[in-house]
Chain A
């Protein structure tokens, strides 16, 4: 199916797109078309969509209406709208990971042909992980990225240097650093601050953070190896020494964190980071642009980024134990440390409803492409409040954009260097992108992790419970189909 239809569709679209993109400015090809976009509320993500929407309307005549729904309800809203045939929404700008579930129900449009015929999008400029893994489902491009998401570790260069420490290269070093500087005053307000701030709130985003910690211990054989399941049996790869080490380390960081860390979501830790109260933290790319905002003077040019720290021993899949890194066990290790940057959340991306009218789909693709194109995107990603993080090579190669935005040359080089190192790491790990992902990680992993953090259960119980729970979900969706989708979701390697 992949072979024949796109050819035909591609030819058709090539005709329309080639025509339309050339004559955008002259005769407004989408005059009278209204595209309803649904996304999260507020400045982040939504506001830039609305602003660019106005520009797009001036160019093409398509009216872009941005509907905002509270974050917690966004996915359900889009899904119900499309699945029940209400179709009041044409484009969902949602978390890339959610699209898999929509695609499994056949709700979203295949955009491969559009992309192939689009002269402006320049997909080769998009970083390989986003181009080949994140934008694609089962080999076909179904999402258009507007924001590139994966997690890195940030540290206070001034605080660590003063203590004679360096950027953490392994998670053990991270913990040692946290212990060494915890309790120091880091923002000059006379109060003791924290060695590590990592969000641990339940039913929030802590399952991303734990996966970031675990990634380097679990996955060593490249992106296609996967972080969560065995690729032959679909058995969970969770009840083993590597995840155990990650759970224990994640809990241990809490000793050097704010007292109510267990009730803090990423937004709460970000507020602390911006107030200069944290020596180290896990976060998405957002911290970079946020550190040059007006309300973050405490950390301006002091918060440095580093690729996700790794582990010196990794999981041996056969035994479930951890073995020391060498050339065979860790083919991708750097200086003996196995790193694996985790593509948490996958970033915000646009999907188009399969149920919309053809004309609307065309306009919707045009708009998403417009958002994604370097001309727009390379400006947007340097602005903190947009919430857009870099995902194009051209955004990473040139520090000028960032210095213009307010970075110092040194901070820009460091920030972009960390991102580039992460995105070009062949061992980058992918977030769970199969149907039921929300159940696997958002509910089961998250709940058991929270119970372990709260001291209700031991780490072994937690991991065993997750294994049982995951198996139930897998059985429920069908092992074979889940296995197929999981393998496919990791399909392309990161070259």
Chain B
């Protein structure tokens, strides 16, 4: 126990003899209502300033919005803004282009469906609950939907739309960022010299405004006047522009995104690692356990809850990726690097508020379903297993 906590522990004892009765009453009142008092300001603030705009934008998503001299005018159009994205003129833009389904595509769809069915069957056997069942159904439909989109587009030789690009940024980006961030945190949690130096330096990219990161990477990656231009020329890529090829453009955006966000994962995971009780680790080392064993058996279970929080916060931000593709490529070449948020931004800039809100609501749905599923069915299960073990 640290000095700090012993010190504060003595305080209540010091304070209690001088409590007067009126103050006592007040304290009692406070105590009775403390539960509400703790949470009320946050809930009220969120209800006032967050729920209202969220619901208002839902109304925008089912309307056509026009401006007039006395404010915004709404005209109800039902689900038109949504159907346009799935079946109408914006289908290619949002989902991608569909032609013949390839064999790999069918394999993926069938594999996903079988896996989902098996999963559902297992849950059924383990015990049935209405809410849980509905939750799983939603998860499954989202998963199969994504599988169909992936199978029908990229796996069949077609281009995917903003949905695919967004998922690419989220899945690949977070995997890279979490891997590298955790790796660096592990290295820095060792007893090395200059720990504080690395800690501060590695954290700096997070401090830069996302716009600034976008522009900085555009400068650094410039193929003609950027610092690596001579390198490109030297390896014979002088006429190759990364921004003109869909995959290199996406990869450059992931690099920029990772540069900015690895620090976040790094700093939180480092804090978590340093909170892992050192005596446990040392005891295991004395017992002759290998480094990987120690990590698996002691460190990882201890840092899982923090890792889960970090992943959740990071994935919510990752689904909203907009500044980097907007600044580095404006969504180009074609629509190859356009994320859903960027699609919403472009629609919004052209006064097409309805389409913009519709895209954003689909993003909200996707994020909630995937994040909630991931946490309910993967992370929580894992945590229970670890804690049980």
The interface of chain A, by Cβ under 8 A from chain B, is 72, 76, 79, 83-85, 101, 105-107, 201-204, 258-263, 354-355, 436, 438-439, 442-443, 447, 450-451, 453-457, 465, 468-469, 472, 476
Report B-chain residues with C-beta under 8 Å of the C-beta of A442: 349-350
What 0/1 pattern do residues 42 to 70 of B give for CB contact below 8 A with A?
00000000000000000000001011111
How many residues in B have their beta carbons less than 8 Å from beta carbons of A? 39
> CA A260 – CA B334 in complex, angstroms?
13
> CA A455 – CA B159 in complex, angstroms?
11
> CA A85 – CA B282 in complex, angstroms?
68
For the complex formed, measure the closest distance between the CB of B336 and the CB atoms of chain A, giving whole angstroms.
7
A-B contact pairs, 28 of them (CB 8 A): A76-B348, A83-B68, A83-B69, A85-B70, A105-B67, A202-B334, A203-B331, A203-B346, A259-B223, A259-B224, A260-B222, A262-B332, A263-B244, A263-B330, A263-B333, A354-B69, A436-B350, A438-B349, A438-B350, A438-B351, A439-B350, A439-B352, A443-B346, A450-B333, A451-B334, A455-B334, A456-B159, A469-B89
For the complex formed, measure the closest distance between the CB of A220 and the CB atoms of chain B, giving whole angstroms.
30
Interchain CB contact under 8 A, A454 and B69: no
> CA A450 – CA B331 in complex, angstroms?
10
Selected from A201, A438, A469, the residue in CB contact (under 8 A) with B332 is A201
Report B-chain residues with C-beta under 8 Å of the C-beta of A443: 346-347, 349-350, 352
The interface of chain B, by Cβ under 8 A from chain A, is 64, 66-72, 89, 92-93, 159, 222-224, 238-244, 246, 326, 329-336, 346-352
Report A-chain residues with C-beta under 8 Å of the C-beta of B68: 83, 105-106
The DSSP consensus for interface residues of chain B is loop
Interchain CB contact under 8 A, A456 and B351: no
Find the A residue at minimum CB distance from B249: A263
> CA A468 – CA B93 in complex, angstroms?
14
For the complex formed, measure the closest distance between the CB of A389 and the CB atoms of chain B, giving whole angstroms.
25
Find the A residue at minimum CB distance from B226: A260
For the complex formed, measure the closest distance between the CB of A413 and the CB atoms of chain B, giving whole angstroms.
34
Interchain CB contact under 8 A, A456 and B224: no
For the complex formed, measure the closest distance between the CB of A41 and the CB atoms of chain B, giving whole angstroms.
14
A-B contacts counted at CB < 8 A amount to 115
Report A-chain residues with C-beta under 8 Å of the C-beta of B326: 203
> CA A254 – CA B334 in complex, angstroms?
15
Interchain CB contact under 8 A, B349 and A450: no
> CA A450 – CA B69 in complex, angstroms?
35
Report B-chain residues with C-beta under 8 Å of the C-beta of A263: 241, 243-244, 329-330, 332-333
> CA A457 – CA B335 in complex, angstroms?
11
Interchain CB contact under 8 A, A105 and B334: no
Selected from A107, A436, A447, the residue in CB contact (under 8 A) with B69 is A107
> CA A106 – CA B351 in complex, angstroms?
16
> CA A454 – CA B241 in complex, angstroms?
12
Report B-chain residues with C-beta under 8 Å of the C-beta of A453: 333-334
Report B-chain residues with C-beta under 8 Å of the C-beta of A447: 93, 335, 346
- Apart from A203-B331, A443-B347, A450-B335, what are 4 other A-B pairs with CB-CB below 8 Å? A260-B222, A260-B224, A447-B93, A456-B335
> CA A180 – CA B265 in complex, angstroms?
53
Selected from A262, A436, A454, A469, the residue in CB contact (under 8 A) with B351 is A436
Interchain CB contact under 8 A, A202 and B332: yes
Find the A residue at minimum CB distance from B73: A105
Interchain CB contact under 8 A, A101 and B330: no
Report B-chain residues with C-beta under 8 Å of the C-beta of A469: 89
Interchain CB contact under 8 A, A262 and B349: no
Interchain CB contact under 8 A, A76 and B330: no
Report B-chain residues with C-beta under 8 Å of the C-beta of A201: 330, 332
